[in-house]
Amino acid sequence: MGSQSDWPNLRHAAETLDALKIDYEARIISAHRTPDRMYEFARGAKAEGFQVIIASAGGAAHLPGMVAALTPLPVLGVPAQTAALGGEDSLLSIVQMPPGIPVGTLAIGRARAINAALLAAAILALSDPEIASALDDFRADQTASIPEFPSDDV
Ligand SMILES: Nc1c(C(=O)O)ncn1[C@@H]1O[C@H](COP(=O)(O)O)[C@@H](O)[C@H]1O
């Protein structure tokens, strides 16, 4: 994520990965404020053993696209909600990549980072039966938790 201030949203991704028993690292890396850190991380990520990268930033959100430019790994972009423009600034900064360097862009922040974790899990599940099974269980639990009829006691 681009800043500590993104963690309240990205925490939901981390908790989802925890629930699915998927190893991950959460790091603060900014294309603008820590460009050398970004370069070093993105260039070395595949060799370090990472398989998917979730990159989230807000406003002029160049982080996901720049990371994608530096690694062959799949990059999932999470646009952070922003005070000034509601996160549309982040979304548009991330989604409209030039042909040749894709970023799989998800919905604007506030707990939406959970879907980045689930999409990362689905990618990993293609070659990992344990993650595939954990994802199946997650879906089954979610389905079972949705009542069919509305309640007045909420
Ligand atoms: N968009 C970027 C990048 C980047 O794209 O490299 N680095 C930080 N930021 C974003 O700036 C916002 C405000 O950051 P602060 O709260 O630290 O001022 C955050 O949402 C962060 O992702």
Residue 154 within any structural domain of the chain? no
* 152 found inside a domain: no
16 neighbors 32 (Cβ within 8 angstroms): no
Give buried/exposed letters for 55-71 (b at 16+ CB in 10 A, else e).
bbbbbebbbbbbbbbbb
How confident is the model at residue 154, as a pLDDT?
A: 77
15 domain-assigned: yes
Centroid of ligand 1 to alpha carbon of 142 (angstroms): 32
What is the distance in A from the centroid of ligand 1 to the CA of 61? Answer: 7
What pTM does this model have?
Answer: 0.96
150 lies in some domain: no
**Number of domains comprising the chain:** 1
pLDDT at 93: 97
- pLDDT, tens digit, for every residue of 93-107? 999 999 999 999 999
Q: How many residues does the chain have?
A: 154
Q: What is the pLDDT along the chain (154 residues), one digit of tens a residue?
A: 999 999 999 999 999 999 999 999 999 999 999 999 999 999 999 999 999 999 999 999 999 999 999 999 999 999 999 999 999 999 999 999 999 999 999 999 777 799 999 999 999 999 999 999 999 999 999 999 999 999 998 7
* Residue 55: both structure tokens together: 């990159």
pLDDT value, residue 143: 97
- Asked if residue 64 belongs to a domain, the reply is yes
Interface pTM, i.e. ipTM: 0.98
The CATH number for 62's domain is: 3.40.50.1970
* 6 annotated as belonging to a binding site for a ligand: yes
11 is in an annotated binding site: no
- HSE on the CB side for 115, CA within 13 Å? 12
Sheet holding 53-57, edge to edge: 53-57, 75-79, 104-105
pLDDT tens-digit series, residues 10-23: 999 999 999 999 99
Sequence-ordered list of residues with C-beta below 8 angstroms from that of 115, at least 6 positions apart, any chain:
106, 107
pLDDT given at position 109: 78
Which residues have CB under 6 Å of ligand 1?
A: 2-3, 5-6, 30-33, 57-63, 80
- Tell me the residue range of the domain where 119 lies: 4-145
**Whole-number pLDDT of residue 26:** 98
Q: How far apart are CA 81 and CA 72, in angstroms?
A: 27
Establish if 153 belongs to a structural domain: no
Distance between Cα 116 and ligand 1 center (Å): 18
Q: Report d(CA 20, CA 68) in Å as an integer.
A: 25
Is 3 annotated to bind a ligand? Reply is yes
